[in-house]
């Protein structure tokens, strides 16, 4: 090695040792007659002193090095002079007196400062990701990510799980997200697909007797990106034979609790065991299937209070089957703030935002204070529990719009009123989601989760009568308003699976073509089984306190699905396409390289 120690390990016990450090020039402080250079590697910083009396050549060399040059320093460890120790550095008790400095590689002036925690535009960070990763934030996040995956593996290995790899080149599936397709050269006109998840193969592994499987698996979905969605992402994928829903949840809950204690002990889990919330409850109270329950501000249905109102907007909504729901916030707001909230919910499809403010002196103000009758206002106040000084926000409309608009307004209010404790992790299990949802466009039922999800046993008879009311044996793990992942107990009986496919509108021929391999496997002794998959990226982001998963991915795409470091996606030579039997019928213009 070109070094004897890392830049993070020298302590008082090393005093007197002759050492060689290698790393990047983090900072240089040139006093004219004395130069300090902080040498950095990912383990830390060590102060090196260059003294012209002790080593004139090294001193002169040190005057010329710039930020981020790669250097090696020979020297000896000595204690800092009295009063000169730096308590902010783990190595701050000592310093290295240089005898020689070698420049291993000079560096251009970086496009942004590596040694400061200053915000830099995302595009610039991604273009120079190797410099961004040198900075403290990305170092910390990648170290945390490693700790998370290492912990998960150790935890599951110790519980007799087998890590099995599954292919990246898979069979295309019509269900779910858009597939990334990979053309086959050997079979022109045919395509592999990158897996959206290893779902089918892990079930086949159950049939294969691998009764406890896991994999930290890359998954691919060709859909538009978001702060919490990348084209490719990483999941802990896990499946167990002979397990019931409670077993899967208990195992994962133990894993989450141990994981947090091990890698993010500064965070507190709000409630253990994790609370269970039904899908119906979550939608009713929070307007989402991934609620942030670190704060209250729950939604309340005030439909019964306004059904007979002279205020037609509310009464008509109730009459035609819509919902009128409210949130009571324990605060007063300015008109400007309320206008902003209204613009926010309108942007989500709400027709408007009604409000009532209950002043301490008993007066009632607000957009519907005059439109509603006094008893109606009193009923709303009673039902929402609004106290003196509270403001009630009301959205009326179709159930999905009310849920989205008021649910998201709830989040805005929680942040606005500073009700969210960033040091808290509010895990919960979201249970009993519907198995199917009606697809009006295609006039058929769709799987909410995926077509292998089993029904709650007592709901199975509803397959023939009322599929929309069937609850799935499925569970999502939610934390702080993010869906980390979900799973289910799978169908392992062939006839039930056939009935589900029939309900989904799949013909026998389609089933055979798409899922024949799985159904055939199930005829050879499929054990009852179930599993879960949850997002490593989202989990690490939450544990790191990051709002965007790109902060915990070494080389992410930009929001417009471009790799700014390498330039992917890029055109390929026509001859490469010809070999694959592919011709391009439409293409993006050449890179409009921005000035």
Partner RNA sequence: GGGGGCGUGGUGUAGCGGUUAACAUACUGGCCUGUCAAGCCAGAGACCGCGGGUUCGAAUCCCGUCGCUCCCGCCA
Q: Enumerate residues 550-589 that contact RNA by CB under 7 A.
A: 550, 558-560, 562, 564
Taking the CB of residue 353, how many other CB atoms lie within 10 A of it?
21
CB of 66 to RNA, least distance (A): 5
* 118 near RNA, judged by CB under 7 A: yes
* 109 near RNA, judged by CB under 7 A: yes
CB of 119 to RNA, least distance (A): 5
CB of 222 to RNA, least distance (A): 9
How far apart, in whole angstroms, are the C-alpha atoms of residue 521 and residue 40? 55
> What are the CA-CA distances from residue 127 to residues 3, 121, 153, 424, 567 (Å)?
30, 10, 32, 34, 9
Q: Which is nearer to RNA, 285 or 381 (CB)?
A: 285
* 315 near RNA, judged by CB under 7 A: no
Taking CB under 7 A as the binding criterion, the range among 170-178, 332-340, 375-383, 462-470 that sits at the site for RNA is 170-178
* 178 near RNA, judged by CB under 7 A: yes
Q: Which is nearer to RNA, 358 or 427 (CB)?
A: 427
Q: Do residues 507 and 471 make contact, with C-beta atoms less than 8 angstroms apart? A: no
How far apart, in whole angstroms, are the C-alpha atoms of residue 486 and residue 410? 24
CB of 592 to RNA, least distance (A): 4
Mapped onto helix, strand or coil, the DSSP state of residue 136 is: helix
Q: Which is nearer to RNA, 51 or 424 (CB)?
A: 51
For RNA, the binding residues in 247-306 under the rule CB under 7 A are: 289
Q: Do residues 210 and 530 make contact, with C-beta atoms less than 8 angstroms apart? A: no
For RNA, the binding residues in 395-414 under the rule CB under 7 A are: 404
> What are the CA-CA distances from residue 125 to residues 52, 138, 192, 202 (Å)?
39, 11, 33, 37
**For the window 3-42, what string marks contact with RNA as x by the rule CB under 7 A?**
------------------------x-xxxxxx-x-x----
- Among 67, 155, 171, 499, the residue binding RNA under the rule CB under 7 A is 67
Q: Where are the beta strands (DSSP E) in 299-434?
A: 300-301, 323-329, 354-358, 364-365, 391-397, 424-425, 427-431
Taking the CB of residue 174, how many other CB atoms lie within 10 A of it?
9
For RNA, the binding residues in 455-484 under the rule CB under 7 A are: 476, 483
Q: What is the DSSP letter of 551?
A: G
End-to-end CA distance of the chain: 43
345: nearest Cα among 320, 359, 325, 364 = 325
Residues with Cβ within 8 Å of residue 542, at least 6 apart in sequence = 425, 479, 480, 482, 484
Taking the CB of residue 305, how many other CB atoms lie within 10 A of it?
24
For RNA, the binding residues in 495-534 under the rule CB under 7 A are: none
Q: Which is nearer to RNA, 6 or 124 (CB)?
A: 124
- Among 13, 60, 163, 223, the residue binding RNA under the rule CB under 7 A is 223
399-416 and 335-347 are packed helices; what angle lies between their axes, rounded to 10 degrees? 140
- Among 15, 18, 57, 66, the residue binding RNA under the rule CB under 7 A is 66
Q: Which is nearer to RNA, 85 or 371 (CB)?
A: 85
CB of 267 to RNA, least distance (A): 22
* 442 near RNA, judged by CB under 7 A: no
CB of 281 to RNA, least distance (A): 15
- Among 1, 16, 53, 585, the residue binding RNA under the rule CB under 7 A is 53
CB of 120 to RNA, least distance (A): 4
**For the window 74-93, what string marks contact with RNA as x by the rule CB under 7 A?**
------xx--xxx-xx--x-
How far apart, in whole angstroms, are the C-alpha atoms of residue 229 and residue 87? 40
Taking CB under 7 A as the binding criterion, the range among 112-120, 160-168, 460-468, 495-503 that sits at the site for RNA is 112-120
DSSP lists the bridge partners of residue 103 as: 71
Helix (H) or strand (E) holding 237: strand 232-241
- Among 202, 212, 221, 529, the residue binding RNA under the rule CB under 7 A is 221
CB of 401 to RNA, least distance (A): 9
Q: Which is nearer to RNA, 366 or 535 (CB)?
A: 535
Q: Do residues 46 and 95 make contact, with C-beta atoms less than 8 angstroms apart? A: yes
Maximum alpha-carbon separation in the chain: 93
* 227 near RNA, judged by CB under 7 A: yes
* 121 near RNA, judged by CB under 7 A: yes
* 226 near RNA, judged by CB under 7 A: yes
Residues with Cβ within 8 Å of residue 412, at least 6 apart in sequence = 341, 344
Cα–Cα–Cα angle for 167, 168, 170, rounded to 5 degrees: 75
CB of 30 to RNA, least distance (A): 4
Taking CB under 7 A as the binding criterion, the range among 175-183, 200-208, 354-362, 376-384 that sits at the site for RNA is 175-183
Q: Which is nearer to RNA, 64 or 359 (CB)?
A: 64
CB of 447 to RNA, least distance (A): 9
Q: Do residues 273 and 253 make contact, with C-beta atoms less than 8 angstroms apart? A: yes
Q: Which is nearer to RNA, 252 or 384 (CB)?
A: 252
Residues with Cβ within 8 Å of residue 587, at least 6 apart in sequence = 571
- Among 106, 167, 188, 347, the residue binding RNA under the rule CB under 7 A is 347
How far apart, in whole angstroms, are the C-alpha atoms of residue 81 and residue 29? 17
* 200 near RNA, judged by CB under 7 A: no
- Among 303, 330, 349, 528, the residue binding RNA under the rule CB under 7 A is 349
């Amino acid at each position: 090695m070109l070094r004897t120690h890392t830049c993070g390990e020298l302590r008082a016990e090393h005093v007197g040792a002759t050492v060689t450090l290698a790393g990047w020039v983090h900072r240089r402080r040139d006093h004219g007659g004395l130069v300090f250079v902080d040498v950095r590697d990912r383990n830390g910083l060590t102060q090196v002193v260059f003294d012209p009396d002790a080593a004139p050549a090294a001193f002169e060399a040190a005057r010329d090095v710039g930020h981020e040059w790669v250097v090696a320093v020979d020297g000896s460890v000595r204690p800092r002079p009295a009063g000169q120790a730096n308590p902010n550095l783990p190595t701050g008790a000592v310093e290295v007196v240089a005898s020689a400095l070698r420049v291993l590689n000079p560096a251009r002036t970086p496009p942004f400062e590596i040694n400061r925690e200053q915000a830099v535009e995302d595009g610039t960070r991604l273009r120079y990701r190797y410099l961004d990763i040198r900075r403290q934030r990305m170092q910390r996040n990648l170290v945390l990510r490693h700790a998370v995956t290492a912990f998960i593996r150790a935890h599951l290995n110790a519980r007799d799980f087998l890590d099995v790899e599954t292919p990246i080149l898979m069979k295309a599936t019509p269900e779910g997200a858009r597939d990334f397709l990979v053309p086959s050269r050997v079979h022109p006109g045919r395509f592999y697909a990158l897996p959206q998840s290893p779902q089918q193969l892990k079930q086949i592994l159950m049939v294969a007797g691998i009764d406890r499987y896991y994999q930290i698996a890359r998954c691919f979905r060709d859909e538009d990106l978001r702060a919490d969605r990348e084209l490719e992402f990483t999941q802990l994928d896990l499946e167990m034979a002979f397990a019931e829903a409670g077993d899967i949840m208990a195992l994962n809950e133990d894993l989450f609790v141990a994981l947090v204690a091990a890698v993010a002990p500064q965070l507190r889990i709000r409630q253990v065991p994790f609370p269970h919330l039904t899908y119906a409850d979550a939608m009713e109270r929070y307007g989402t299937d991934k609620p942030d329950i670190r704060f209250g501000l729950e939604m309340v249905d005030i439909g019964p209070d306004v059904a007979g109102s002279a205020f037609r907007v509310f009464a008509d909504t109730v009459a035609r089957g819509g919902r009128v729901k409210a949130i009571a916030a324990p605060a007063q707001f300015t008109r400007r703030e309320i206008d902003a909230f209204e613009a926010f919910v309108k942007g989500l499809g709400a027709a408007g935002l009604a409000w009532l403010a209950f002043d301490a002196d008993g007066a009632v103000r607000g957009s519907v204070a005059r439109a509603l009758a006094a008893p109606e206002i009193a009923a709303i106040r009673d039902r929402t529990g609004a106290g003196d000084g509270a403001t009630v926000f009301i959205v009326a409309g179709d159930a999905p719009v009310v849920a989205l608009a008021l649910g998201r307004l709830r989040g805005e209010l929680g942040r606005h009123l500073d009700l969210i404790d960033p040091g808290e992790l509010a895990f919960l299990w979201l249970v009993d989601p519907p198995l199917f949802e009606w697809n009006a466009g295609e006039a058929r039922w769709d799987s909410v989760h995926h077509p292998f999800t089993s029904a709650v046993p007592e709901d199975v008879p509803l397959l023939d009568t009322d599929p929309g009311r069937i609850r799935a044996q499925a569970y999502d793990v939610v934390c702080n308003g993010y869906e980390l992942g979900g799973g289910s107990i799978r169908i392992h009986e062939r006839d039930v699976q056939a009935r589900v496919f029939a309900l989904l509108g799949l013909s026998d021929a389609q089933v055979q073509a798409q899922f024949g391999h799985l159904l055939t496997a199930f005829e050879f002794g499929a054990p009852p089984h179930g599993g879960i998959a949850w997002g490593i990226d989202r989990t690490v982001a939450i544990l790191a306190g990051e709002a965007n998963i790109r902060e915990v991915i070494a080389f992410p795409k930009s929001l417009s699905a471009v790799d700014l470091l390498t330039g992917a996606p890029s055109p390929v030579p026509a001859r490469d396409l010809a070999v694959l039997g592919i011709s391009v019928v439409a293409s993006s213009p050449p890179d409009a390289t921005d000035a």
